[in-house]
Amino acid sequence: MKDNKFKIGDRVGAQNQYNEDTGDNVWTKIIRYDEYQDDTLFGEITDITSKGKAIVQWDNISEPETMDPKVLTLEAKAKADLDRLEKEFKAVEKEVKAKMKDAGALLKEANTLSQTVGLQLENMWDACEPLLDAMDKCGWRTSSFGC
């Protein structure tokens, strides 16, 4: 694999992502955006081994790492991808925020309705089940709500 597209001195990036199937963290050149956690590393190729592996000195990491070139991308491309993904995220986030605001208003309205008959909304399990099911399907674990 000596004929990779990288050379000594190239600035590269890669991302360490959690693989849900295996439970492992894996390196990938596929950049994903996460507003709370950026697992994208950038560094410089300092050497290329006889087997075609790239030795990368990552920024802010003291020891260089031997990397498979398949998981590397040029830094400029990775940064452009991150910028594009952040813009896409912010646009969708704005729409989601509006929907959540509407959902919050409806939940408060349901609470007011339950109080008109002297009940607490959290005690109206059958009435709340569609909301709890939807939350579960969206990844929120609602099992602790009853505690």
* pLDDT tens, position by position, 35-66: 766 788 999 999 999 999 999 999 989 999 99
Pairwise pLDDT comparison (87 vs 1), residue with the higher score:
87
Q: What is the pLDDT of residue 1?
A: 40
- Mean pLDDT on 114-121: 92
Q: What is the pLDDT of residue 32?
A: 79
**113, two tokens:** 């309705």
φ, ψ (nearest 5 deg) of residue 117? -110, 20
pLDDT in tens, 68-113: 999 999 999 999 999 999 999 999 999 999 999 999 999 999 999 9
* H-helix or E-strand spanning residue 15: strand 11-19
Q: What is the pLDDT of residue 140?
A: 83
Domain ranges in the chain are: 11-75, 82-138
* Alpha-carbon 110 to chain mean position: 33
